[in-house]
Amino acid sequence: MDVFSLNVLIFLPLAAAVLIALLPAARERLAAVVALWVGLVTLAAAVCLWGRLPATVDADGAAALVGRTDVSWIAVGERALVDGAAVLQHGFELRYHVGLDAISLPLVVLTALLVPLSVLCSLTAIRTRVREYYAWLMLLTAAMFGVFAARDLLLFYIFFEFTLVPLYFLIGIWGGEQRRYAASKFFIFTFVGSVVTFAGILYLAIRAAQIANSGVVSFDLVRLCTIAVSQLSLSEQSLLFFALFCGFAIKVPLFPLHTWLPLAHTEAPTAGSVLLAGILLKLGTYGFLRVALPAVPLGALEWAQVMAALAVIGIIYGALCCWVQSDVKKLVAYSSVSHLGFCMLGMFALTPLGLSGSMLYMINHGISTGALFLVVGMIYERYHTRDLEQIGGLARTMPVMAFFLVLFTLSSIGLPGLNGFVSEFTTLLAAFHSTTLGPWYGGLGAAGILLGAIYMLYAVGKLLFGPLKEPEHTPDLSQGLSRDLNAREILILTPLAVLVVYLGVWPRAVTDPLDPVLQTQILARFETQIRPDRTYVHAGLSTFGERDEHELEAGATGRHWLETGAENSDTGADAASDDSGPERRLRPGVAAGQNPVAQRGQATREARP
């Protein structure tokens, strides 16, 4: 049943896109109905999968996979007969390998929730080329599910890149006045970065095949990560991290690669902005969490302070840019630059609390910011303007809208008791206590929270309170559209409002199944990769050791490396030991019970002038 549900998430929207595209031109209403039903079915499937998520994992995370499917898809190269079957000996293989765990499943559920809400908000907003619109929306839905489900790195990249195409058309056809420029800028930015990432993926796969003495280039994510952790040098890991950075950081977007985002958000239709902020920006942060950190932890450690610095700059810069915006939609867009900076700051604190807080921030940002874009779209649908100089005092005429807008704004700025507070607090606390970063990063991030609260409350106060200001000509209101939110719009916003409160009170719904997976699949790799069999150079410090020849035999999967790290993840002693003999030998300067990654970061700071 789990396998069926997961494949429904990917293939049902694909089938719906084809069906909608083939509908007669006169059946535009049917296209919306089909898209809505597909969204509801995928939501039901995602909720069922969430209920099946195991609470425990084994050393390689296999027990945590829900709905796992692993079949050969494309295999090119020389084959040989083995026991009567043609087996690939030399070439490359792409497998349809999908499965969900506690890292990907929350994002899948969020996607499944936002898609039907996006369809509902489009019922009155989209009035031209309706069939094409819903067909592209369904294709985008399938691609987003595919990214989160993929366990083959090349399959991940295919879905990752495929999201560009439908979003390009959604912005370029149904966007605002500058829609073509916004769509082109978005596509070029993200595509160029992704090309560099693709080169890094190819290098990683080919290099892993060489290390394993295998003639078949495979893209299995767990296998590639395990071999990369145990066998790639510091320089190789650093270069690979940069290659992955180019594609993922643009998608986040991380300062200074954010310049495509405000225009894309402003020009996109409401549903496009909701999915862009709620899901598509998370593809970048998810890429770092799923691929970059597990595969090249040394590279991530080398880049951690650079990443944190860019994150902090983005937090402050995004907040300051919001201060000068009169367009409410552009203000929310720049707030995403600031909020995703918190997400990256927590992630590159490289602590259990930071990774957990970063993942929780992805979910909460998707809920709160997606909801804000929905409310802004509802206002625009009535007044055809988002300019704070032209509209104001709307709480008098739209009290229901004002309630939802205030709730989602307070969530966005991190009011205690709402979902945004928990994720902001945990990411900042992780930055303060991280031996990789330090308190300065946390302090600057806290200043960003203050700036964010000021600009958001000022904008909401101007929009909702004070003298009533409305454009002189409001055709939609004169044609019978209710001034305040109608039943359909309340139905759209209510699930998000419930989640804002629920995750503010009980964030453990996400973090409890998440924490053991983060420990096993990411943190254990950081604890196992600093060993006495490597030479590392960092900030003028060197650690030398002799290499064990038998550590990873040709063709081995390297599972032993992962298991030893998982067994000792609480102390980190095994990560600093040499397990080539029956008695483990600690590296000089690393005491038992200490995390070598943390100690290395501390030593680095002490060595600075």
Answer whether residue 199 shows pLDDT above 80: yes
Answer whether residue 356 shows pLDDT above 70: yes
Residue showing tokens 């999201």: 163
Number of Cβ within 10 Å of residue 35's Cβ equals 30
What is residue 66's predicted lDDT score, i.e. its pLDDT? 84
Calculate mean pLDDT across residues 128-154.
94
Confidence of residue 25 (pLDDT cuts 50, 70, 90): confident
Instruction: Name the more confident of 428 and 437.
Output: 428
User: For residue range 66-80, what is the model confidence (pLDDT) as tens digits?
Assistant: 888 888 888 776 666
Q: Which of 110-114, 190-194, 228-232, 484-488 has the highest mean pLDDT?
A: 110-114
558: left (phi over 0), alpha (psi -120 to 50) or beta: left
Question: Which is it for the CA torsion 338, 341, 345, 347, positive or negative?
Answer: positive
Answer whether residue 168 shows pLDDT above 90: yes
Answer whether residue 526 shows pLDDT above 80: no
Percentages helix, strand, coil for the chain (3-state, rounded to 5) are 65, 10, 25
Answer whether residue 13 shows pLDDT above 50: yes
**Burial of 320 by CB count in 10 Å (0-12 exposed, 13-18 middle, 19+ buried)?**
middle
Calculate mean pLDDT across residues 250-257.
90
Calculate mean pLDDT across residues 91-102.
86
Question: Which is it for the CA torsion 394, 400, 401, 407, positive or negative?
Answer: positive
Query: For all residues of the chain together, what is the average pLDDT?
Result: 81
What is residue 368's predicted lDDT score, i.e. its pLDDT? 94
Q: What is the DSSP string of 3-40?
A: HHHHHHHHHHHHHHHHHHHHS-TT-HHHHHHHHHHHHH
Q: Which of 266-270, 381-385, 498-502, 592-596 has the lowest mean pLDDT?
A: 592-596
What is residue 124's predicted lDDT score, i.e. its pLDDT? 86
Answer whether residue 559 shows pLDDT above 80: no
Calculate mean pLDDT across residues 163-187.
92
Calculate mean pLDDT across residues 104-120.
95
Instruction: Name the more confident of 81 and 39.
Output: 39
pTM for the full model? 0.83
Q: Which of 244-248, 277-281, 473-477 has the lowest mean pLDDT?
A: 473-477
Answer whether residue 56 shows pLDDT above 60: no
Answer whether residue 547 shows pLDDT above 90: no
Calculate mean pLDDT across residues 23-50.
91
